[in-house]
Amino acid sequence: MTILKNTEIITKLLQQVMCDSSLYKPSEFFSLNNKKILISIIRDLTKESYQKIGEHFNKTWFAVYKAHKDTKEKNTQVYQRILAKIKKLYENTNK
């Protein structure tokens, strides 16, 4: 599957998951950077290189790496819950 197709699928899944307020506290919602979360989830699910993801988002590989690292460090618990939920949904869409 191409990165474009994966990105479309993952973006739709992220929108669904972000509507599930049981995954985070209301105060956490506004501190979440959705674009960084999207980049991190694409990286974790597809295992694409930072360079390839950067090309898709018109960013350098380092900007993608930094977004991925920041998301994992700053929002660890919330990110892990969102990622787990998206992994389940993503596996079901690829069956």
CATH number at 7 reads: 1.10.1750
| pTM for this model (two decimals) | 0.81
Residue numbers of the domain that contains 29: 3-93
- Using DSSP, state whether 68 is helix, strand or coil: helix
E strand spans, the chain: none
Distance CA 86, CA 82 (A): 6
User: pLDDT tens per residue, the chain (95 residues)?
Assistant: 566 677 888 888 888 888 877 777 766 666 778 888 889 999 998 889 999 999 989 999 999 999 999 988 887 888 888 889 998 888 887 65
Distance CA 22, CA 8 (A): 24
8-state DSSP, 49: -
Number of structural domains, the chain? Answer: 1
pLDDT for 72: 87
